[in-house]
Chains A and B, each alone.
Chain A
Amino acid sequence: MSGAALLDVRGLSVRFRSDAGPVAAVEEMSFSIMPGETLALVGESSSGKSVTALAIMRLLAPPPSCVIDGQVHLHDAGRTATDLLSLPEPAMRRVRGGKIAMIFQEPMTSLNPVTSVGAQIAEAVQEHAEASPRTAWGRAVELLDLVGIPDARRRVHDYPHHLSGGMRQRAMIAIALAGQPRLLIADEPTTALDVTIQAQILDLLRRLQRDTGMAMLFITHNLGVVAEIADRVLVMYAGQVVEEAPAQVLLRAPLMPYTSGLIRSVPRLAAARTPGVRLAAIAGNIPDPRDRSAACTFSPRCAHMLPEPCLRERPPMEVVAPAHGVRCARWREIAA
């Protein structure tokens, strides 16, 4: 399986320095992304999903503020794999925006407010290919058109503040596409948008992926969005992957109690108010990354928790079916 992978992450751990000692933000993450595949990374705040993406892109602070372990292999069309974590910075700069591009949640703060969107796209084009300013500008117009900005020839002169939230996110996507990436990392790209605009952006990403064949690492907290876009899903809790499965399997038959709790806590249209009925909430709060016990990290909130085996040790990731992994010591009894 890993032979054909585009990106192969092995044993990725990220620790931040703090006054109270090291804080483990991500622990022992391993996963791979196939060419053209959409892998969703799902989790709530402080689960480590954004830190994982930033570690892959090497956008975190250098040691000692932040210590990264593990390997991130980028495979280039069957040729030798490159470990991004040991790549010299100049080579890494060519990877960023070239082989791997990234878009963020907040399109306003991610764009430069004092240059036109056209200039920002053209800059990205010239960063990754030999192109004259004139060619790059023409490419900027093409890219804006590709991401569905109407009247691209005129809008290319607009500044970010001229654009609505949805249009800004389209401009961000145009910049990301400028280097013709093999992998697009999208960190909560629709969270700041209205639902009707979210539907437009998801539609756009699906179309671009179909046309370009790029793979996508889609980071989100929204399981409804996962159902729309993901082929495979990794669920993160407290810095670890707790379940991994194809999207349909994960959403229909989750095995980890956290995953099923999270799916149940999402309000559904179909369950519109019946008097007396309550949402299925998960009790308790998301654990503080500073105090992570030696037990299963979800055990304080888990309805299926038993002192033995849940508090004895952290369960390992167990492969329960092809492409389906679960980090739960009691999954067999719970599923039964």
Chain B
Amino acid sequence: MRKWAHGAVASALLLTLLATQPCNAFPVDFVLIEPGDRQQPEPQTQEAREAPAEVQEAVDAQPAAENAKPEQPRRGIVRQKAAAVAEGAAEAAEEVGQIFGNLIGGLLGGRAAPQVQAKLDQNALKQFEVQYGRHFDQIVKTELHFIRVVCQPTRQQYDALAADGKLIRTKVLNKFATIQQDMNRGIQSSSDNDTRKPVSEDLLKSAKRHLTVDQVAKYESELASRDEARKTFSVQATTARLDRKLVLNAEQRAQIARVLNENWKESWGSMQMIMYGGDSFPNVPDSKILPLLTETQKKVWRTVNQQNRVFWGFNVGMDQGIIIADEQWDDDTASPEEATGKEPAEQPAKAKEASTEASE
């Protein structure tokens, strides 16, 4: 009996040691923040401290009604108390879920997706700026150029958009720096990976304040077309990957493309998964796919790795961040065609120079 007790004590001591010993293999380090803080991680640098607030006011200037919560219907006192208790319980359950979610996320290398966002660290922001700053410059400048081509703004209109563009760059860069920092800590706080979309969305808001209704309609229409093209491509590329895995016939390809199109989720279209995903596929429900397959194909389908919460990294395009020359204006009335001519002979000197450098 005494020896058994010795064994048990030894086990308990070892387990305690095991539980308290720090280990690099499990880098779980996160900050649990209140639900109200989630959308606004506290920035650290001077620029970051100021810019988001300005962006919220200047760029995000939504009508008050858009952000306001719908008014709660009046309830009886008993009902209100019951609802308060239920809300409290739900919040507590959510918090517990978040903690366990993070632990699991840390242990599994960030696979779980708890909704916890860490504060943005100054060093992390600096590092992110060095790594991706040029990409975000390129994204904002090329998007502004796109607006110029599509909407043909005046010089004054364009300058107003470009000023907002600087603020949008800071806001979006902070957003992705926070996601990156969370990922480094084993937390998946967001599945957003398209770095252009938040820029174009904010520039659309800006356009609504600085451009005419007709100009905005043109930009909106082009953005819708871009989204549609992206979805069409993602569905086709995913079907092609499934075809390589399951050797489908033409009818099956068409059926699967239709199923994907009808049930499409944006997270399924990660360019990294499409390009480098190997055997990893979106988490398409079996009930939609299996009826379309033969017995052998079903057997193979059950072995594929269906990913729902894996983060594939940011899509910043295929270049290293190109320095885009400032827009050229011969005078305030220059048309976009003159400034962005398609033939080298028509290029303004500065743009021509940049184009030649790129070609070399």
Q: Do A and B come from one complex?
A: no
A interface, CB within 8 angstroms of B: none
